[in-house]
Chain A
Amino acid sequence: MSKRLTCDVVVIGAGMVGAACALYLARAGLATLVLDRGPVAGGTTGAGEGNLLVSDKEPGPELDLALLSTRLWYDLAAEPGMGGSVEFEAKGGIVVASDAAGMAALTAFAAGQRAAGVEAEVVDAGRLAELEPHLTPGLAGGVRYPQDCQVMPSLAAAQVVRAARRAGAELRTGTAVTDILCAPDGSVRGVRTAGHGDIHAPAVVNAAGTWGAEVAALAGVTLPVLPRRGFVLVTEPLPPGTVRHKVYAADYVADVASGDAGLQSSAVVESTAAGPVLIGASRERVGFDRTFSLPVVRRLAAQATALFPMLAGVHAMRGYLGFRPYMPDHLPAVGADPRAPGLYHACGHEGAGIGLAVGTGHLIAQSLTGRRPELDLAPFRPDRFEEDGQ
């Protein structure tokens, strides 16, 4: 008979958020086991762009989490061998406005962000052309956000999992969680897995991203995570310096904040260390429909070409889609679930999970080790939707 498996905490999900939770939990001294039914970065992490953005967030809890995460990403990237291996680039972001009205709105938005601790520099059309020589002429101006960074998300998840394992965490991929074990009083006692039997632990972290609602249901609680589909186009490699920042149109902020199920799209353009330029970002709620949509990527290409006319002469080599974990109020669920003692959630970050992962992992580790979390977790309470009768 095999030995009964126990640990201090089970993390469900080996995407970027699960990886970051495992890292900070293991470094806090907890015996941590990461489970994923697929591979590392097999879900949303492997289907995004790797944005670490403060620029698209209005003052509030998500921006606070983004600022905390930015600081932690800098710390992480400075660890030996980490920054280069995850293609960390502190390249900064530039949000552009096409007309005077858009520029006025953007300037006001940036002023609010500055008051909340964001570095934001208003740039006129002339300076814009210096910062990004291939941008279309005739833009009204923009705002430069030096704190915006980028990583290659699959590498980032893999390297952070590796760092977690060095700190003592254990990883089991290809291991589906089929149930969450609960005591009669509803508190969590561990998980049941498809391949490794029961694993006993007093704490379970739901880092299942877009599939977080399913994991929550295993513990008998509801969490309204829904899939929001997004496409990304990948161009042929371009010379270094063709696109220098993360560049996007001001409409993107409104798209992110929208609760509409219909299609929203606005160009987000950035180069990668490998050479190709990535073009996002579309958002639509169509369930887990993996059908490739030519009209959506055509629209993305047209919007990107409107920003960077030279892209008209550049091939898109391929495109991909992913499902961002959408929450009705656009805030993730982070922290302990009072409905199921021992259950913690770290999911629902929509399109910002790569950036917000490290702050989330840090806060989860603080919560789980009885320390006072660095941020107030009340806005991220997983049971906050109960009050609305949902």
Chain B
Amino acid sequence: MRQRTPLELAGAHPGPPFTVTVDGHETAALPGQTVAAVLWSAGITSWRSTRGSGAPRGVFCGIGVCFDCLVTVNDRPNQRACLVQVASGDAIRTQEGVGHDGLG
């Protein structure tokens, strides 16, 4: 299936792609993409479960306000996937609950 991206519509000419890992799996990413864009491009729409009922969550507002799209990036939990830009080699991990299991 041809990947749907807005690159053509936007007339974008991104730099060379690189790879990040999503729960350990190598995934292609482009410079300037947010973590959310990488996940969506890979067909992943949910990457966190809520701390109360364990309900699935992904991007909701997409502009950094709602804190619904939280994700662990390079061992830092609760990053907003819609705001954080990826860099080559980033380790993106789905997150359960508060993401601070070491505490408590």
Binding site for B on A (CB under 8 A): 134, 236-242, 275, 310, 313-315, 317
B41 lies within 8 A of chain A by Cβ? no
With known contacts A239-B97, A315-B78, A275–B104 Cβ distance under 8 A? no
Neighbour of A314 across the interface among B67, B100, B101, CB < 8 A: B100
Neighbour of A239 across the interface among B67, B76, B101, CB < 8 A: B101
Binding site for A on B (CB under 8 A): 51, 67, 76-78, 97-101, 103-104
Tell me, in angstroms, the Cα distance from A313 to B103 when the chains sit together. Answer: 11
The interface residues of chain B lying within 8 Å CB-to-CB of A317 are 67
The interface residues of chain A lying within 8 Å CB-to-CB of B51 are 237, 275
Contact A239 B78 (CB under 8 A): no
The interface residues of chain B lying within 8 Å CB-to-CB of A134 are 103
Contact B104 A240 (CB under 8 A): yes
The interface residues of chain B lying within 8 Å CB-to-CB of A238 are 98, 100, 103-104
A235: shortest Cβ distance to chain B, in Å?
A: 10
The interface residues of chain A lying within 8 Å CB-to-CB of B97 are 239
Contact B104 A237 (CB under 8 A): no
Listed from nearest, the 7 A-B pairs whose CB atoms lie closest are A239-B104, A242-B103, A241-B104, A236-B78, A237-B98, A242-B104, A239-B103
Which of A241, A242, A317 has most B Cβ within 10 Å?
A242
With known contacts A237-B51, A317-B67, A275–B103 Cβ distance under 8 A? no
Q: List 29 A-B contacts (CB under 8 A).
A: A134-B103, A236-B77, A236-B78, A236-B98, A236-B99, A236-B100, A237-B51, A237-B98, A238-B98, A238-B100, A238-B103, A238-B104, A239-B97, A239-B98, A239-B100, A239-B101, A239-B103, A239-B104, A240-B104, A241-B104, A242-B100, A242-B104, A275-B51, A275-B98, A310-B103, A313-B76, A314-B100, A315-B78, A317-B67
Question: Chain B residue with minimal CB distance to A244?
Answer: B104
Tell me, in angstroms, the Cα distance from A275 to B67 when the chains sit together. Answer: 14
Q: In the complex, given contacts A236-B78, A317-B67, what are 13 additional A-B residue pairs having Cβ atoms less than 8 angstroms apart? A: A236-B98, A236-B99, A237-B98, A238-B103, A239-B97, A239-B98, A239-B100, A239-B101, A239-B103, A242-B104, A275-B98, A314-B100, A315-B78
A313: shortest Cβ distance to chain B, in Å?
A: 8
The interface residues of chain B lying within 8 Å CB-to-CB of A241 are 104
